[in-house]
Amino acid sequence: SMLRRGRESRKLSVADIALQLHLPVSTIENIEIDNYEKLPAVTFVRGYIRAYARLLNLPADDIVAEFEKIGKTDTPSEFSTQKIYG
C-alpha cells in the first residue's frame, strides 16, 4: 500500500507506472494489492518492487524488507521436480 499511496500522492496512474517500468498494468495492479500468486518468481517481484519504489523516490530497501516479511518464496516448478531419467 506504500507504493499505491506514493503513486496516488504524485497523481500518477497505474498505467503511468507500468509504462515507465516497462511492465504490464496488471503487474503493477497485482503488486499494489499484494496478489503475488499472479506474478512471476519472487526474484522478479522483488526487483519490480525495488524499481517501483525508486521511481517514486520512496525507501526501496524498506519496502522490499516489508515484502520479505510476507514470506513468499519461489516454489520449484513442476518441471524442475520431475525425474529426468525414468
CB count within 10 Å of CB 60 equals 16
Tell me the pLDDT tens digit for each residue of 53-77. Answer: 999 999 999 999 999 988 666 544 4
Measure the CA–CA gap between 86 and 43, rounded to whole angstroms. 31
Q: What is the DSSP string of 23-47?
A: --HHHHHHHHTT-GGGSS-HHHHHH
Find the angle CA(69)-CA(71)-CA(73) to the nearest 5 degrees: 140
Tell me the pLDDT tens digit for each residue of 31-52. Answer: 999 999 899 999 999 999 999 9
Residues 13-19: what's their mean pLDDT? 98
pLDDT at residue number 1: 85
Dihedral sign computed on CA atoms, order 34, 36, 38, 44: positive
